[in-house]
């Protein structure tokens, strides 16, 4: 294709892609399949590769571009980003209405959900997104353009001709489902979680690497035009124009005739709060006429034409009675807030997490403080901060203990790890969690082995490690308080049953640091036996696609410990399944190592990797002498050269597809 034709085709592809993006992300109503969409994007990518000077910043291929930034630049807002005055009662809304009417006569209002995310300003010039800023202090904000571009419902180019030069404001938020999933994954990797979806949204937008931002499920609702070369009569019309220009506006925005109707709708919105996939912390009531908005004007802080009605808070203040120390499965010491019981959004809360000691220090939370507690997105309650103004002088800081509160061992506290740990693997607290973890539903799934039973078994010295579970006798259990013939037999039976659980459950249940469910499956399918896994060196583990360095090291450390090897051999003696029998019929690529380089035309990399794994193969990221196959796509990198030098088997895409039977 010559350049002129390419230019034409590129324009057509971009328009089509923008249209389908809009249908998918804004209207939630796709008209083509994901596959067809990918084909369009791929065609555009390959044309832009051939003619790099035809790439423009608004091309759909440029959503996740560039290297991580060194830092953000602060830019002054062309028009200050004010905040809203808050009210908590309907009477205060009526007073607001009186003030408005006194100044500009009768008005219509528009009522909108107040999205609990983080405010942003998007600047478009000649229909192209040129800059995106955070709210910052309202006067100036950080330039986060490359991060905002990764949000697929933000148009890079405006549709139609009504809006061309415009600044749009909106709220970026972290959907609840995604928030829960993100925190679950972080917890599984034992990494930091976000306290609430608002922090998750703001924290994500502050990432310096757009690739990380792109991996988070951020979304946006836009709620106003701050300036544009087109004038509108009402807020309602402006919102409509925003929607037509390709923005995502909230479907619950509603025009009402007066304040009483607005109040009725606030009641409705508060009920809806529990059923939608994003947090809202109130309703915003805005004067509809833009001329009247102008007439009402603003104070230095708030507009006089809008007000927020805040819903019952999922926050409360209460006294922090004590800071208890919990010792977790891996020995991590976690400070836990013991609170004067307090209702928070309908639930009485008496304990809240303080995450870790760094956080405790950073937040300067002390025993005796009045603290702000928050519950959101179904996560465990958090202590948000202490109220310093309420201090009386006798509050006490909780220092990192020198000794484990359970077993008295000296605590380990390395600089690079946030965690403070008890190193004693025999610490009863750690043993308890290890057993609990081993017996949990995702691991060996042992029924009737609850926390209090585990406590009793440990206290009575019946178990000192996981293997001891299998030597328990019914007579032993019958000596424990609360056990009868039948319940004791049930426990024995379910322990016995667990001997046949899958290898991946066993690996997961061993509680190796950083090895979650996914890593456990990966390891089980790669090695088929605990013995093979145990003798694999860290370098080889690192090569396994999807396993991080930390995980590889943790596995190496685990199997490098004599005590763990003893445990494994005991488990084998007991007759626990430590191997997976795999039928080689379905695993023609068993143990074969694959490396990919260059872009594949008809497959995504994750799909291609899955095909390899399904057939028993391993995907590695670097070429070495023991690589079995190097799959070469378009524009391969240095791995291709290395593969040729080493004389490895090289496959093109078609040959690869044949090999994996696709």
- Using CB under 6 A, list all residues that contact ligand IVH: 82-84, 112, 114-115, 119, 135, 171, 223-224, 284, 303, 306, 308
The answer to whether 371 touches 386, Cβ cutoff 8 Å, is: yes
Q: How far is CA 460 from the centre of its chain?
A: 42
- Shortest distance, position 192 Cβ to ligand IVH, whole Å: 24
Among candidate residues 507, 571, 502, 495, the one with its CA nearest the CA of residue 534? 507
Q: How far is the CB of 173 from ligand IVH (least distance, A)?
A: 9
Query: Minimal distance in Å, beta carbon 312 to ligand IVH?
Result: 17
DSSP tag of 579: B
> Which tokens belong to 54?
């035809």
Minimum Å distance from CB 281 to ligand IVH?
Answer: 8
Nearest to 633, CA basis, from 650, 648, 611, 658: 650
Contacts of 438 (CB under 8 A, 6+ apart): 444, 446, 466, 469, 509, 510, 511
Q: Which residues contact 89 (CB under 8 A, 6 or more apart)?
A: none
Select 80 or 338, whichever has its Cβ closest to ligand IVH.
80
Which residue's CB atom is positioned nearest to ligand IVH? 119
Of 188 and 298, which has the nearer Cβ to ligand IVH?
298
Distance from C-alpha of 18 to C-alpha of 37, rounded to nearest angstrom: 10
Reported in sequence order, the residue ranges of 252-369 that DSSP labels E, i.e. its strands, are: 254-256, 280-287, 306-310, 315-327, 333-344, 347-353
The encoded tokens of residue 494 equal 């379910």
Shortest Å, Cβ 135 to ligand IVH: 6
Considering the complex, state which of residue 236 and residue 543 has its C-beta at the smaller distance from ligand IVH: 236
Q: Is 635 marked active-site?
A: no
Contacts of 384 (CB under 8 A, 6+ apart): 195, 315, 371, 372, 373, 374
Min dist CB 232 to ligand IVH, Å, is 15
Catalytic-role residue among 11, 114, 157, 645: 114
CA distances from 485 to 340, 365, 454, 489 (A): 41, 49, 18, 6
Give min distance, CB of 134 to ligand IVH, in A: 10
Q: Closer CB to ligand IVH, residue 110 or residue 404?
A: 110
Which helix (H) or strand (E) is 224 found in, with range?
strand 219-228
What gap in Å lies between CA 185 and CA 431, rounded to an integer? 24
Asked whether the beta carbons of 359 and 336 are under 8 A apart, the reply is no
Question: Are the beta carbons of 310 and 88 closer than 8 angstroms?
Answer: yes
User: What residues are labeled active site?
Assistant: 114
């Amino acid at each position: 294709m010559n350049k002129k034709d390419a230019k034409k085709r590129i324009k057509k592809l971009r328009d089509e892609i923008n249209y389908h993006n809009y249908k998918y992300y804004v209207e939630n109503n796709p008209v083509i399949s994901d596959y067809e969409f990918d084909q369009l994007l791929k065609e555009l990518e390959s044309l832009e590769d051939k003619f790099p000077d035809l790439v423009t910043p608004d091309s759909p291929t440029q959503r996740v571009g560039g290297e991580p930034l060194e830092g953000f630049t602060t830019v002054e807002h062309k028009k200050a980003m004010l905040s809203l005055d808050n009210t908590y009662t309907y009477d205060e809304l009526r007073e607001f209405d009186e003030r408005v009417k006194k100044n500009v006569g009768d008005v219509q209002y528009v009522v909108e959900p107040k999205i609990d995310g983080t405010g942003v300003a998007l600047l478009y010039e000649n229909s192209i997104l040129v800059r995106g800023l955070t709210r910052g202090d309202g006067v100036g904000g950080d330039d986060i353009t490359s991060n905002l571009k990764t949000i697929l419902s933000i148009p890079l180019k405006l549709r139609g001709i009504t809006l061309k030069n415009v600044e749009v404001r909106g709220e970026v938020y972290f959907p609840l489902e995604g928030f829960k999933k993100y925190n679950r994954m972080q917890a599984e990797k034992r990494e930091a979680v976000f306290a609430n979806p608002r922090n998750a949204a703001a924290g994500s937008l502050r990432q310096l690497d757009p690739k990380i931002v792109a991996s988070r499920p951020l979304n946006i609702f836009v709620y106003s035009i701050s300036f544009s070369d087109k004038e509108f009569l009402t807020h309602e019309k402006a919102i409509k124009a925003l929607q037509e220009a390709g923005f995502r506006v909230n479907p619950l925005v509603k025009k009402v005739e007066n304040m009483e109707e607005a109040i009725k709708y606030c009641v409705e919105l508060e009920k809806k709060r529990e059923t939608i996939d994003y947090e809202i912390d109130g309703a915003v009531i805005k004067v509809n006429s833009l001329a009247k908005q102008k007439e009402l004007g603003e104070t230095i802080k708030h507009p006089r034409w809008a007000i927020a009605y805040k819903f019952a808070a999922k926050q409360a203040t209460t006294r922090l009675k004590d800071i208890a120390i919990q010792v977790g499965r891996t020995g991590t010491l976690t400070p836990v807030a013991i609170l004067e019981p307090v209702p928070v959004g309908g639930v009485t809360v008496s304990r809240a997490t303080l995450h870790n000691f760094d956080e405790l220090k950073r937040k300067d939370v002390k025993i005796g403080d009045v603290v702000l507690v928050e519950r959101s997105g179904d996560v465990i309650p958090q202590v948000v901060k202490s109220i310093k103004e309420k201090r009386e002088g006798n509050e006490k800081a909780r220092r990192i203990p020198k000794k484990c509160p359970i077993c008295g061992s000296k605590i380990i506290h390395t600089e690079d790890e946030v965690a403070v740990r008890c190193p004693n693997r025999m610490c009863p607290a750690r043993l308890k969690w290890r057993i609990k973890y081993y017996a949990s539903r995702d691991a060996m799934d042992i029924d009737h082995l609850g926390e209090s039973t585990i406590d009793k078994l440990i206290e009575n010295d019946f178990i000192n490690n996981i293997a001891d579970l299998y030597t328990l006798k019914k007579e032993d259990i019958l000596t424990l308080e609360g056990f009868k013939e039948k319940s004791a037999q049930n426990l024995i039976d379910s322990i016995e049953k667990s001997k046949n659980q899958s290898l991946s459950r066993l690996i997961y249940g061993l509680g190796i640091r950083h090895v979650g469910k996914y890593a456990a499956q990966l390891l089980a399918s790669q090695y088929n036996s605990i013995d093979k896994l145990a003798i694999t060196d860290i370098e080889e583990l690192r090569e396994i696609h999807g396993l991080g360095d930390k995980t590889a090291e943790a596995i190496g450390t685990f199997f490098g410990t004599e005590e763990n090897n003893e445990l494994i051999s005991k488990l084998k003696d007991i007759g626990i399944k430590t191997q997976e029998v795999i039928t080689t019929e379905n695993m023609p690529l068993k143990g074969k190592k694959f490396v990919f380089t260059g872009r594949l035309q008809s497959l995504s990399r994750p799909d291609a990797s899955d095909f390899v794994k399904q057939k028993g193969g391993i995907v590695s990221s670097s070429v070495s002498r023991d690589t079995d196959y190097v799959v070469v796509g378009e524009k391969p990198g240095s791995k291709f050269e290395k593969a040729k030098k080493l004389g490895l088997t090289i496959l093109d895409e078609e040959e690869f597809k044949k090999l994996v039977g696709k």
